[in-house]
Amino acid sequence: MIYRENGQFKTSYGADQQIFPIAQDRYLVLAIIAFAFIGVPMLADEYFFRAILIPFLILSLAALGVNLLVGYCGQITLGAGAFMAIGAYAAYNFLIRVPELPLLAVLILGGLTSAAMGILFGIPSLRVRGLYLAVATLAAQFFWDWAFLRIGWFTNYSSSGSVSVSNLTVFGWDISSPVNKYLFCLAILVVFALIAKNLTRASLGRQWMAIRDMDVAAEVIGIRPMWAKLSAFAVSSFFVGVAGALWGFVHLGSWEPAAFSVDRSFQLLFMVIIGGMGSIVGSFFGAAFIIILPIFLNQFLPALGDLFGIAISTAAVSHAEFIIFGSLIVFFLIVEPHGLARLWATSKEKLRLWPFPH
Amino acid sequence: MKIRTLALAISMATFGLGSTVMSTAAQAQAKEQFFPVIVYRTGAYAANGTPWANGYVDYLKLVNAKGGINGVKLSFEECETGYATDRGVECYERLKGKGATVFQPLSTGITFALTEKAPVDKIPLITAGYGRSESQNGAVFTWNFPLLGTYWVGADVAIQHIGKQAGGLDKLKGKKIALVYHDSPYGKEPIPALQERAKMHGFELMLLPVAHPGVEQKATWLQIRQARPENVLLWGWGVMNSTALKEAQATGYPRDKMMGIWWAGAEPDVKDVGMGAKGYSALTLQHGAEPGSKVVKDMLAMVHAKGQGTGPKDEVGSVLYMRGLISAMLGVEGVRKAQERYGKGKVMTGEQTRWGLENLNLDQKMLDGMGFAGVMRPVQTSCLDHMGSSWVRVHQWDGAKWNFSSDWYQSDDKVLRPMVMLASGKYAEEKKLTPRTPEQCKQ
């Protein structure tokens, strides 16, 4: 009833090819973005910003990057954590070695360094694919873990191996308060999501999807696999690298290589699988599921116990959190193997027929 | 299809319900001194984190049983981190909103992350026996309190003890000492102090990192077997310690030549190895296992006998339990000291507690009165010295229990003080901080 495109006539190619051809979708997304920029800063408290929203935004960006590679180009990667680390440490080194650079440039340079390394470690994808490629990218993870722990130059010879940044400003705008950090991350995420969406609709994204669906056929119709695969690695690593730099600079403030361990790589891959491969909105769903659900369970279970007068021990809550989280992953994958994004799409289909399904 | 829709509906409804339940739970607050308790009772380091957490919480309960701090009762809430830095930051954000008095994260990684946040939120950070070594300089690290000792103190005393056993520090010349360390900020902290000592005495320092969580040590011990260092220092945590001792047993490295930091010298580290760890010694952060002390007897009588004990009864008085207990005591005494200045019987803010911690003066009489006779030596902090004491003993595992095997040591300030000043100065420069002057300290 409300969600119908009846009466919306397109009179130009531009109108036909826009990102959200249905007006309701367009207004909804604009409303969400407006709410995120204006409503959320008025409603949320510091805990919400620092512990939930900022990690969610940054890891959404990383998941978006991984989704471009895994979901759109079909190249499985287990090295996403390493590329986050490269982004963070490269940005750190640019920041301390060239102090004149503005923060935004530092973040972009961190992303570019990560992109260059992505191309390098993407080379095996030209020969191996599938699980074998996953193992090859795992090499990147272990190599960079080792490098950031062992090579003192990367951490500016910090004795503990932990580096930190502070006093961040973007063109004179001090982003040390949680609200400003949130707005900064949100602005970056919106820009990058727009870039990602448009890339996937453009020639490059179509090449990636052709390679994903059948690389031999794609090659026959004139798509260069080397260009397509390496560009996917580069763009993906760029996104992931910027996210890594934000994770270190904005979220943690002080970090060690363990913040970007192999666990992080798995976490990002799971976000993409649970959220929906080959879907931009899926990256957000996946990140929300993986970041927010455990924290929610951790607080919800004791509160629920209190309601019934049962005191649950900290260890039991933590164990229950893992059990419920794990079973929910299994549940959602059984209900919808194509991820939360497909559930979202199905519900939209249903909404179109509502209230008179046939 | 029906079940599927039902399950989906339930999960959605849980989310809705959850947010309302949580918002009501957050409101219950009275006039109590709130102690956030950051713990890890699960994960790779649970065996060591649990007794610490039990001791910490038990002491808060004991203070309540004795009538609180000048009548102010203590309240507390636990938050589980699993030793992960990002979860630790989440816990900090969650608990700080409830009026947190002082944070004790029991993780060097989390300490590093919180060091940036504590000055902004005005909540002191006690890191008794861990954390950043240079944070001893309170003029720069206003909010950090590495009370009782830092890793540099540990490293310094370890070399003093090895030197004494060898018959003098000059005998160390040309010898080889290996450091087997947890490859994290925790394990890396002692390296600068050891390098300084190596330069002074001319011994060779072998650095052997072990990756988290420390169950893979075959290669490390192969290297030790080849290089045959005179002594091995063990800077491990959790399962890494018992693994190291088992590997030492397997490679035939003499256990009495191995010495651990105070985090590698508790019951969970050696129990599984039993007689295999006989002769292994470890530094102590003043105290060892103290089942005979008065505070432990009080604890058993006033908390455990009433069925309010947090953990099992036989754990009370073990090394890590005592560490948690003493950590809690230091926080509580900081509040008590702050009350002397800002009003007895009032709830102290983080800022007021900070003053209390900075002017802490626990002399032997007070400690004995609280039941710490024979457990601890005096602690006195100041603006420039946030550590308060550097007394260390060595204890040795005889196969069944820990026994003290050395006299009291103190770290050599002539070696460490310049390092602390240099490192904290570098930190101040990086962060564009101006160290507090002696006049500012008095405020």
Tokens representing B254 are: 């003499």
Q: Look at A314 and B86 and tell me if their CB atoms are within 8 Å.
A: no
Mutate which of B80, B191, B426 to disrupt the A interface (most A C-beta within 10 Å)? Answer: B80
Residues 64-93 of B with CB under 8 A from A: 78-80, 82, 85-86, 89-90, 93
pLDDT tens column, B383-392: 888 998 889 9
Mutate which of B85, B91, B135, B424 to disrupt the A interface (most A C-beta within 10 Å)? Answer: B85
Cβ–Cβ under 8 Å, residues A48 and A230: no
Average the pLDDT over B269-298 and give the result: 89
pLDDT of residue B18: 52
Confidence of residue B169 (pLDDT cuts 50, 70, 90): confident
**Residue B89: which of A183, A249, A252, A257 has the closest Cα?**
A252
Cα–Cα distance measured from residue B228 to residue A290, given in angstroms and rounded to the nearest whole number: 47
Point out the residue among B53, B85, B115 whose CB comes nearest to the CB of A259.
Answer: B85
**Is the Cβ of B94 closer than 8 Å to some Cβ of chain A?**
yes
Average the pLDDT over A331-350 and give the result: 88
CA distance B284 to chain A (A): 22
State yes or no: pLDDT of B58 exceeds 90. Answer: yes
Poorest-pLDDT segment among B6-15, B266-275, B336-345: B6-15
Q: Report the chain B residue with the minimal C-alpha distance to residue A289.
A: B15
Instruction: Output the CA torsion sign for B435, B439, B440, B443.
Output: positive
Residue with tokens 């969970």: B268
Instruction: Output the CA torsion sign for B360, B361, B363, B368.
Output: negative
**Is the Cβ of B373 closer than 8 Å to some Cβ of chain A?**
no
Q: Look at B79 and A314 and tell me if their CB atoms are within 8 Å.
A: yes
pLDDT of residue A281: 93
Residue with tokens 């179509």: A206
Confidence of residue B5 (pLDDT cuts 50, 70, 90): low
Spatial CB neighbours of B248, under 8 Å, sequence gap ≥ 6: B221, B232, B255, B258
Cα–Cα distance measured from residue B36 to residue B32, given in angstroms and rounded to the nearest whole number: 12
HSE toward the beta carbon, residue A311, CA cutoff 13 A: 4
Q: Report the chain B residue with the minimal C-alpha distance to residue A258.
A: B184
Q: Report the chain A residue with the minimal C-alpha distance to residue B108.
A: A160
CA distance A181 to chain B (A): 14
Highest mean pLDDT (candidates A31-40, A258-267, B272-281, B428-437): A31-40
Q: What is the share, in percent, of chain B residues with pLDDT greater than 90?
A: 42
Average the pLDDT over B76-86 and give the result: 88
Confidence of residue B28 (pLDDT cuts 50, 70, 90): very low
Confidence of residue B108 (pLDDT cuts 50, 70, 90): confident
Average the pLDDT over B153-166 and give the result: 91
Average the pLDDT over A152-165 and give the result: 84
HSE toward the beta carbon, residue B214, CA cutoff 13 A: 26
- Residue type for B219, please? A
Cα–Cα distance measured from residue B346 to residue B338, given in angstroms and rounded to the nearest whole number: 10
Cβ–Cβ under 8 Å, residues B375 and B131: no
Q: Look at B112 and A300 and tell me if their CB atoms are within 8 Å.
A: no
- Residue type for A209, please? M
Q: Look at A258 and B192 and tell me if their CB atoms are within 8 Å.
A: no
Spatial CB neighbours of B294, under 8 Å, sequence gap ≥ 6: B371, B372, B373
Q: Dihedral through CA B152, CA B158, CA B160, CA B166, nearest 10?
A: -150
Average the pLDDT over B69-93 and give the result: 89
Point out the residue among A167, A306, A319 whose CB comes nearest to the CB of B42.
Answer: A319
Find chain B residues with C-beta within 8 A of A159's C-beta.
188-189, 191-192, 423
Q: Look at A253 and B117 and tell me if their CB atoms are within 8 Å.
A: yes
How far CA B377 is from CA of B24, B136, B156, B388, B393, in Å, comes to 45, 18, 19, 10, 11
Grouping H, G, I as helix, E, B as strand and the rest as coil, residue B75 is: strand
- Residue type for A171, please? F
Q: Report the chain B residue with the minimal C-alpha distance to residue A312.
A: B78
**Residue B354: which of B148, B133, B36, B142 has the closest Cα?**
B142
Confidence of residue B119 (pLDDT cuts 50, 70, 90): confident
Q: Taking all residues of chain B, what is their mean pLDDT, rounded to a whole number? A: 87
Poorest-pLDDT segment among A191-200, A344-353, B5-14, B360-369: B5-14
Structural domains in chain A plus CATH codes: 23-353 (1.10.3470)
pLDDT of residue A130: 83
pLDDT of residue A64: 96
Residue with tokens 């060091």: B115
Instruction: Output the CA torsion sign for B330, B332, B333, B335.
Output: positive
pLDDT of residue A2: 78
Grouping H, G, I as helix, E, B as strand and the rest as coil, residue B307 is: coil
CA distance A268 to chain B (A): 15
Residue that wins the pLDDT comparison between A280 and A254: A280
**Residue B317: which of B296, B338, B286, B337 has the closest Cα?**
B296
Q: At what angle do helices A54-67 and A178-201 cross, to 10 degrees?
A: 20
The DSSP secondary structure of B192-206, one letter per residue, reads HHHHHHHHHHT-EEE
**Residue B387: which of B194, B152, B116 has the closest Cα?**
B152
Q: Where are the alpha helices (DSSP H) in A123-177?
A: 131-150
pLDDT of residue B24: 44
Cα–Cα distance measured from residue A89 to residue A147, given in angstroms and rounded to the nearest whole number: 11
Tokens representing B264 are: 């590698």
pLDDT of residue B1: 44
pLDDT tens column, A23-67: 888 999 999 999 999 999 999 888 889 889 999 999 999 999 999
CA distance B192 to chain A (A): 7
pLDDT of residue B274: 81
Q: Where are the alpha helices (DSSP H) in B228-318?
A: 239-251, 267-270, 294-299
Residues 107-136 of B with CB under 8 A from A: 108-109, 112-113, 115-117, 120, 132
What is the ipTM for the molecules in this complex?
Answer: 0.83
State yes or no: pLDDT of B26 exceeds 50. Answer: no
State yes or no: pLDDT of B363 exceeds 60. Answer: yes
Residue with tokens 């995120």: A36
Residues 205-264 of B with CB under 8 A from A: 209, 212
Q: Phi, psi at residue B195, to the nearest 5°?
A: -65, -40
Confidence of residue B4 (pLDDT cuts 50, 70, 90): low
pLDDT tens column, B341-361: 998 888 999 899 999 999 999
How far CA B94 is from CA of A190, A299, B79, in Å, comes to 27, 10, 9
Mutate which of A46, A177, A314, A334 to disrupt the B interface (most B C-beta within 10 Å)? Answer: A314
Strand B391-397 and strand B409-410: the pairing is: antiparallel
pLDDT of residue B9: 59
Average the pLDDT over A263-283 and give the result: 92
CA distance B262 to chain A (A): 18
Cβ–Cβ under 8 Å, residues A147 and A154: yes
Residue-wise burial string across B58-89, b where 16 or more C-beta atoms lie within 10 A, e elsewhere: bbbbbbbeeebbeebebbbebbbbbbbbbbbb
Find chain B residues with C-beta within 8 A of A253's C-beta.
113, 116-117
Tokens representing A180 are: 């400003």
Confidence of residue A105 (pLDDT cuts 50, 70, 90): very high
Helix (H) or strand (E) holding A330: helix A314-335
**Is the Cβ of B366 closer than 8 Å to some Cβ of chain A?**
no
CA distance B364 to chain A (A): 35
Q: Look at A315 and B97 and tell me if their CB atoms are within 8 Å.
A: no
Find chain B residues with C-beta within 8 A of A164's C-beta.
112, 115-116, 430
CA distance B373 to chain A (A): 32
How far CA A79 is from CA of A142, A148, A189, in Å, comes to 8, 15, 21
Cβ–Cβ under 8 Å, residues B307 and B36: no
Mutate which of B430, B433, B434 to disrupt the A interface (most A C-beta within 10 Å)? Answer: B430
pLDDT of residue B258: 92
pLDDT of residue A205: 95
The DSSP secondary structure of B78-94, one letter per residue, reads EEE-TT-HHHHHHHHHH
CA distance B211 to chain A (A): 10
Cα–Cα distance measured from residue A248 to residue A181, given in angstroms and rounded to the nearest whole number: 12
CA distance A126 to chain B (A): 32
Highest mean pLDDT (candidates A87-91, A315-319, B218-222, B354-358): A87-91
pLDDT of residue B15: 54
